[in-house]
Amino acid sequence: MGVSASGKSTIGKLLASELRFPFFDADDFHPEYNIKKMASGQALNDLDREGWLLELNDLARREPNAIIACSALKEAYRILLRKDLSKEVHFVYLKGSYEQIYDRMTEREGHMMPVSLLQSQFDTLEEPSDALTVSVSLTPETIIKQIMNEINPKCDFGLIGLGVMGKSLCRNLINNDVKLAMYNRFVAGVEEGVAADFKQAYNLDSSAAFEDLEQFVESLNTPRKIMLMVSAGPAIDHIIEELVPLLDEEDIIIDGGNSHYSDTKRRMEYLNKEGVHFIGTGVSGGEEGALKGPSIMPGGNQQAYEQIKPFLEAIAAKDKNGKPCCTYIGTEGSGHFVKMVHNGIEYAEMQLLAELYQLCRFGKGMQPEQIADLFESWKAEGLDSFLLEITANILREKEDDKYLIDLILDKAGNKGTGNWTTVAASQLGFPATMITAALYARYVSAHKESRKQAASIFRFEKSSALDCSLDDMREAYRVGRIINHHQGFELIRSASDTFAWNLDLSAIAGIWTNGCIIRSELMERLIEPLKEALPILLQRDQLTILKTGRENLTALNISGLKAGFNLPCFTAALNFLNGYTESKGSANIIQAQRDYFGAHRYQRVDDHSGKTYHTVWSN
């Protein structure tokens, strides 16, 4: 619809061919009388148009799938046109100014509507409020794209990979009214009809399910937004290879798995050449987070991110001010880097709790439920966190009359992100000692058979008379966590400086306050101070805690080690604190040794010029 010469016939024909619908030009349905009247320079009135509109309405009844180009200038005309139609009617209003249309009309030859009638068309026009309004100044192709996006039944977002996380994210998207296309591969006898079964099981009527990739891609509006929730590693490259020939320029692929940040950068560069955007995003929160609101850490091209932002923000957890726990992290693989460090911090947070559990259970002789009570009491002491809470819950869990924790094999698994964090820290020259210690603690635990053998040979006893207090434990835990967060955030800062990512540490803390595994009260408290460039350990808020807490941390370590316990994370925390706060350390010996055997040279304390020295050592 629109005034004469707004381009109805051109657009209508193109649209009809796109949809494979018949096209009808309402001008062809005017009675002789109307045509003559217009040709003589007189405008039609309501009465003149009535019969014509009724005939068009009749046509629409006979041709339920059709494109009709009709001026439909007044609301009353449109009501008449759509009267008693059983199918949905979409009005597309081609809007232009008088001047724009006038120019077009003067260029047009042989049309029954004289230019002199244009003003009466505008006088009669009542702009529709319920139509898709499209500017006539756009190219016909763009107009068709806009119309197709509005009226066709295509989906707005696609998700590939219906594993546990993928399914939860799908439900989250659908709960947030996203028109979703879901795809899971077909593997005969193993993965068959996964998407369709899932759709049926959860009554996800508004979504579309596929196991044919081409149909899945076809079902999406452009630019397509496709989220991959497949296992990190070669599976990502594989699906990208399958997707690329099916995609158009400007389409966006989002990798929501725990991919390595350098793989993300490589994939981004490759897809860039194909004109396709790639966003590597961290998603934290496990199955429940994915369903109810995860913390989301997207990185890559910012313009591409802006297009997926509404979807990611809709499904993200919300912080205490109602803001989505999702923020653009930075370019390249920075989103995945930040997620990787999140997991590293997670490793150390988990390990601290595991060490505390050991000390309480076997050094203090407490029952799991008593330890759960203790941990819960710490929530009121500024130590509340998701991991503390779930650990207390774990310790209360029973199977018949046995604590479940006693039935779980003490052999820790890992999926690699802690390893990557340790390697990245090492490559960047940053001492993430607690993450490393937590990772290695898992590795030690994994050698269960060797441990059993060694235990039977050495027969070391653990003393059940641990002489640090429960208060020491609480304060040592507080200090250990601060050091862990310091190391994690400084590692991010170090990567940000090295790769010129310009990351906002405070914003990262902000999106880690809800949805993710390391959400905690401490994280909330870090948002403000992280706005300053000061490392956490040097922030005023932490000084008193660290000064007094160091004594508790020392007491825990001394008594724990003396009693025969393995405390990799707590000792790493204390060693780091001691090393970080000493202005004079022992590295002069290292430098001298290096110079002695390799002439690697050293700097002197009495020469600040940066000059290096070599000594011809006398022996």
CA 90 to chain centre: 35
By CB under 6 A, is residue 421 in contact with ligand 6PG? no
> Which CB, 343 or 552, lies closer to ligand 6PG?
343
| Residue from 211, 346, 475, 490 carrying the catalytic annotation | 346
Contact between 308 and 273 under an 8 Å Cβ cutoff? The reply is no
Q: How many whole angstroms separate alpha carbon 577 and alpha carbon 553? A: 10
Cβ 422 to ligand 6PG shortest distance, Å? 12
Residue 18 annotated as catalytic: no
Q: How many residues bind ligand 6PG (CB under 6 A)?
A: 14
**Which position among 293, 335, 418, 510 is part of the footprint of ligand 6PG (CB under 6 A)?**
418
**Which single residue is written with the structure tokens 């940000």?**
496
Cβ 581 to ligand 6PG shortest distance, Å? 31
> Which CB, 299 or 363, lies closer to ligand 6PG?
299
**Nearest of 486, 492, 519, 523 to residue 505 by alpha carbon:** 492
By CB under 6 A, is residue 517 in contact with ligand 6PG? yes
602: DSSP letter? B
By CB under 6 A, is residue 304 in contact with ligand 6PG? no
Dihedrals phi, psi of 423, to nearest 5 degrees: -65, -45
Element (H, E) at 69: strand 67-69
Contact between 248 and 224 under an 8 Å Cβ cutoff? The reply is yes
| Residue from 8, 95, 199, 339 carrying the catalytic annotation | 339
Cβ 242 to ligand 6PG shortest distance, Å? 25
Cβ 346 to ligand 6PG shortest distance, Å? 5
> Which CB, 298 or 529, lies closer to ligand 6PG?
298
Those residues whose C-beta lies under 8 Å from the C-beta of residue 48, and which sit 6 or more positions away, are 33, 34, 37
Cβ 412 to ligand 6PG shortest distance, Å? 8
Sign of CA dihedral 522, 523, 528, 530: positive
**Which position among 414, 463, 494, 591 is part of the footprint of ligand 6PG (CB under 6 A)?**
414
Cβ 103 to ligand 6PG shortest distance, Å? 59
Stretch that binds ligand 6PG, among 397-405, 413-421, 572-580, 582-590 (CB under 6 A): 413-421
**Nearest of 178, 576, 505, 187 to residue 337 by alpha carbon:** 505
Contact between 221 and 252 under an 8 Å Cβ cutoff? The reply is no
Q: How many whole angstroms separate alpha carbon 144 and alpha carbon 435? A: 54
Cβ 486 to ligand 6PG shortest distance, Å? 20
Which residue's CB comes closest to ligand 6PG?
284
By CB under 6 A, is residue 415 in contact with ligand 6PG? yes
By CB under 6 A, is residue 346 in contact with ligand 6PG? yes
By CB under 6 A, is residue 121 in contact with ligand 6PG? no
Contact between 159 and 180 under an 8 Å Cβ cutoff? The reply is yes
Cβ 414 to ligand 6PG shortest distance, Å? 4
Contact between 351 and 441 under an 8 Å Cβ cutoff? The reply is yes
> Which CB, 69 or 340, lies closer to ligand 6PG?
340
Site for ligand 6PG in 272-301 (CB under 6 A): 284-286
Q: How many whole angstroms separate alpha carbon 410 and alpha carbon 349? A: 17
Cβ 347 to ligand 6PG shortest distance, Å? 7
> Which CB, 256 or 368, lies closer to ligand 6PG?
256
By CB under 6 A, is residue 38 in contact with ligand 6PG? no
Q: 15-20 contacts: CB < 8 A, separation 24 or more?
A: 15/67, 15/144, 15/147, 15/148, 16/66, 16/67, 18/144, 18/148, 19/65, 19/67, 19/152
Residue 346 annotated as catalytic: yes
**Nearest of 42, 213, 1 to residue 126 by alpha carbon:** 1
Per-residue CA distances from 221 to 179, 278, 308, 361 (Å): 10, 17, 13, 57
β-pair type (157-160, 180-183): parallel
> Which CB, 311 or 386, lies closer to ligand 6PG?
386
> Which CB, 340 or 555, lies closer to ligand 6PG?
340
| Coil, strand or helix at 385 | strand
Cβ burial of 491 (10 Å; 0-12, 13-18, 19+) is buried
> Which CB, 417 or 542, lies closer to ligand 6PG?
417
Q: How many whole angstroms separate alpha carbon 304 and alpha carbon 252? A: 7
Cβ 566 to ligand 6PG shortest distance, Å? 19
> Which CB, 358 or 417, lies closer to ligand 6PG?
417
Residue 318 forms beta bridges with which residues? 324
**Which position among 343, 487, 496, 514 is part of the footprint of ligand 6PG (CB under 6 A)?**
343
By CB under 6 A, is residue 516 in contact with ligand 6PG? yes
Stretch that binds ligand 6PG, among 184-192, 225-233, 245-253, 342-350 (CB under 6 A): 342-350
Dihedrals phi, psi of 330, to nearest 5 degrees: 170, -170
By CB under 6 A, is residue 560 in contact with ligand 6PG? no
> Which CB, 120 or 231, lies closer to ligand 6PG?
231
Stretch that binds ligand 6PG, among 55-63, 109-117, 137-145, 408-416 (CB under 6 A): 408-416
By annotation, the residues acting in catalysis are 339, 346
| Chain contacts with ligand 6PG (rule: CB under 6 A) | 258, 284-286, 342-343, 346, 413-415, 417-418, 516-517
